[in-house]
Amino acid sequence: MPHIIVKLYPGKSEEAKALLAGQIVSAVVTTLNCGEQSVSVAMQEVKPEDWGETVYKPDIAGNWASLYKQPGYNPFE
């Protein structure tokens, strides 16, 4: 606990993704007071043309109540 999935457009370097994963782990460990060994982070690349159907509609628009940070706009309306 916990497992975090970051969905992002392709094209970010492996170094950038590793840095982001490390920063997420640090924030989780500090905030939730848990051990680093219990945190996992996955990166899922999603093509821009697939974002609306595979991420925005099911994960964002379909889950407003569970979002702690909502996007500033809906590019798919």
71 is an active site residue: no
How far lies 58's CA from each of 25, 50, 53, 55, 70, in Å?
A: 25, 12, 7, 6, 14
Q: Which residues contact 60 (CB under 8 A, 6 or more apart)?
A: 67, 70, 71
Helix (H, G, I), strand (E, B) or coil at 42: strand
Catalogue the active-site residues: 2
